């Protein structure tokens, strides 16, 4: 079968295909080819290997691209973002610098609640346009799939509005969007003295969101003075009954037992985990819950990093994402996340590539379609303007992505959008 496109002379081709682990804790077990090629037809990979590509892959109409010895990896999966929101919160910066804690700003009606006020007022078009621009920037950093949560509506009308925007973006933007319902992100002002009332409201919303087929995942902010472990258990169990896959913001700021709950409910992932307990790590490992780590949030809040090495040593699957949101992490730059993971968490280049590709794909339950460059999978891949993998993590703070392909179509060429 002849290809539509062949990319050849790839100096380092990280296919991301998972190899058998040499050691229990091995997170570097992905395939790396040298002098590789990739062949694509109808948006899917039909050939991948080392050396010269087989002649039968090429016909008269096949387009050939010489990668000139550069590095190619699978497209990045940013598996935790709060993409859909309106307004910004730079007014909180002086407070943050003076040391006012994140949860204190929220308690005073700022933080998430301030974004809720703006998002409720915004039109669908305003939300769409703002998110569209962000997706363009993410694409330039090599991202090809994005998970996107609601959670700045905290009422039916605005939560649905946010999720409708997810759907529209998935249709109109080249990147794929995976939609998550996060009605349990905070207790809205109108329910400030009646949290139970809001929890019942969330249960009603779950049904409607599922009926309208607007989200695959249900998430919750399990945190001190937001939703405690018991409330989180109740809401997530109800979500499961409605057919949602589960995920949870767990032990982000206070060690509350969110990771233990994730293990008990066998959620797909547990997110943040900066304050996870040893028992929590054991539960994640035992129940195959993916630890989705968001180091740019630690960096921005000036908090400690999640104990990633400890988790890897216990056999926990680790993913990395931006957590892009207007409060704790107004950052859509996954390469900054990758740089922080290297310099501060001491993850190796291959561990980081794995955490942002195939493990990110597992977080959004798309590992059969994306996350690695294997025959039959989507041709989502990134060409870095470097001749070895280490360089990406060595020369920090700049964008090393040169070209991005989504479903076999080039969407970034020489660092600029081209779709």
Decide whether 147 or 323 has the Cβ nearer to Fe ion.
323
Rounded to 5°, the CA angle 12-15-21 comes to 110
Rounded to 5°, the CA angle 149-211-267 comes to 50
- Nearest approach in angstroms of CB 216 to ligand NIG is 18
Q: How far apart are CA 342 and CA 348, in angstroms?
A: 6
Residue 179 interacts, among ligand NIG, Fe ion, none and using kind-specific CB cut-offs from 5 to 8 Å, with: none
- Nearest approach in angstroms of CB 101 to ligand NIG is 12
Residue 81 interacts, among Fe ion, ligand NIG, none and using kind-specific CB cut-offs from 5 to 8 Å, with: none
Residue 317 interacts, among ligand NIG, Fe ion, none and using kind-specific CB cut-offs from 5 to 8 Å, with: none
Residue 298 interacts, among ligand NIG, Fe ion, none and using kind-specific CB cut-offs from 5 to 8 Å, with: none
Q: Which phi and psi (to 5°) does residue 230 adopt? A: -65, -45
Decide whether 345 or 412 has the Cβ nearer to ligand NIG.
345
Decide whether 46 or 84 has the Cβ nearer to Fe ion.
84
For residue 413, what are the CA distances in angstroms to 41, 140, 142?
A: 19, 9, 11
Residue 221 interacts, among Fe ion, ligand NIG, none and using kind-specific CB cut-offs from 5 to 8 Å, with: ligand NIG
Does position 223 bind Fe ion by CB under 5 A? no
Decide whether 82 or 173 has the Cβ nearer to ligand NIG.
82
The closest of 136, 184, 185 to 326, measured between CA atoms, is: 185
- Nearest approach in angstroms of CB 271 to Fe ion is 6
DSSP secondary structure, 189-225, as one string:
GGGTT-HHHHHHHHHHHHHHHHHTT--SEEEEBB-TT
- Nearest approach in angstroms of CB 250 to ligand NIG is 10
Decide whether 128 or 227 has the Cβ nearer to ligand NIG.
227
User: Are the CB atoms for 272 and 249 separated by under 8 Å?
Assistant: yes
- Residue in the shown chain whose Cβ atom is closest to ligand NIG: 327
Residue 328 interacts, among Fe ion, ligand NIG, none and using kind-specific CB cut-offs from 5 to 8 Å, with: ligand NIG
**Biggest alpha carbon distance in the chain?**
71
Decide whether 4 or 323 has the Cβ nearer to Fe ion.
323
- Nearest approach in angstroms of CB 186 to Fe ion is 12
Q: How far apart are CA 295 and CA 292, in angstroms?
A: 10
Question: Per CB under 5 A, which region of 34-42, 97-105, 167-175, 319-327 contacts Fe ion?
Answer: 319-327
Going by their DSSP bridges, the two strands 290-293 and 401-406 should be labelled as unpaired
Residue 111 interacts, among ligand NIG, Fe ion, none and using kind-specific CB cut-offs from 5 to 8 Å, with: ligand NIG
DSSP secondary structure, 292-355, as one string:
EE-HHHHHHHT-PPP-HHHHHHTT--EEE-----SSS-----HHHHHHHHHHTT---HHHHHHH
Q: How far apart are CA 383 and CA 403, in angstroms?
A: 5
Contacts of 31 by beta carbon, 8 Å cutoff, 6+ apart: 14, 15, 16, 17, 18, 19
Beta bridge partners of 48: 38
Does position 323 bind Fe ion by CB under 5 A? yes
- Residue in the shown chain whose Cβ atom is closest to Fe ion: 323
- Nearest approach in angstroms of CB 97 to ligand NIG is 16
- Nearest approach in angstroms of CB 344 to ligand NIG is 18
User: Are the CB atoms for 403 and 410 separated by under 8 Å?
Assistant: yes
Binding site for ligand NIG (CB under 6 A): 82, 111-112, 115, 221, 249, 252, 297, 323, 325-329
Binding site for Fe ion (CB under 5 A): 323
């Amino acid at each position: 079968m002849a290809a539509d496109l062949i990319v050849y002379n790839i100096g380092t081709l990280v296919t991301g295909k998972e190899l058998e682990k040499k050691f229990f804790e091995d997170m570097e077990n992905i395939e790396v080819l040298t002098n590789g090629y990739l062949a694509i037809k109808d948006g899917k990979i039909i050939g991948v290997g080392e050396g010269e590509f087989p002649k039968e892959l090429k016909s008269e109409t096949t387009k050939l691209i010489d990668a000139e010895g550069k590095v190619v990896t699978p497209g990045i999966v940013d598996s935790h973002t709060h993409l859909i929101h309106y307004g910004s919160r730079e007014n909180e910066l002086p407070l943050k610098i003076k040391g006012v804690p994140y949860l204190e700003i929220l308690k005073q009606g700022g933080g998430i609640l301030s974004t809720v006020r703006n998002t409720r007022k915004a039109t669908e078009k305003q939300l769409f346009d703002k998110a569209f621009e962000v997706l363009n920037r993410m694409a330039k950093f090599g991202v090809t799939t994005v998970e996107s949560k609601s959670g700045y509506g905290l009422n039916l009308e605005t939560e649905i509005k946010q999720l409708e925007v997810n759907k529209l973006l998935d249709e109109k933007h080249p990147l794929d969007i995976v939609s998550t319902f996060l009605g349990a992100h905070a207790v809205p002002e109108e329910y400030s003295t009646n949290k139970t009332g809001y929890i019942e409201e969330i249960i009603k919303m779950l049904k409607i969101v599922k009926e309208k087929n607007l989200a695959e995942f249900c998430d919750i902010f399990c945190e001190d003075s937001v939703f405690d472990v018991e409330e989180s258990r109740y809401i997530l169990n109800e979500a499961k009954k409605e057919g949602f896959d589960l995920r949870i913001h767990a032990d982000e700021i206070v060690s509350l037992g969110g990771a233990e709950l994730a293990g008990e409910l066998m959620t797909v992932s547990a997110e943040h985990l900066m304050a996870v307990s040893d028992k929590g790590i054991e539960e994640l490992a035992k129940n195959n819950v993916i630890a989705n780590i968001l180091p740019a949030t630690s960096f921005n809040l000036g908090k400690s990093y999640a104990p990633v090495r400890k988790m890897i040593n216990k056999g926990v699957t680790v993913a990395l994402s931006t957590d892009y949101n207007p409060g704790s992490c107004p950052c859509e730059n996954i390469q900054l996340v990758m740089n922080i993971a290297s310099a501060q968490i001491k993850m190796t280049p291959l561990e980081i590539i794995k955490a942002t590709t195939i493990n990110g794909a597992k977080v959004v339950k798309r590992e059969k379609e994306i996350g690695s460059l294997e025959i039959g999978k989507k041709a989502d891949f990134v060409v870095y303007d470097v001749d070895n993998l280490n360089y990406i993590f060595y020369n920090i703070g700049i964008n090393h992505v040169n070209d991005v392909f989504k479903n076999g179509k080039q969407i970034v060429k020489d660092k600029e959008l081209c779709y």
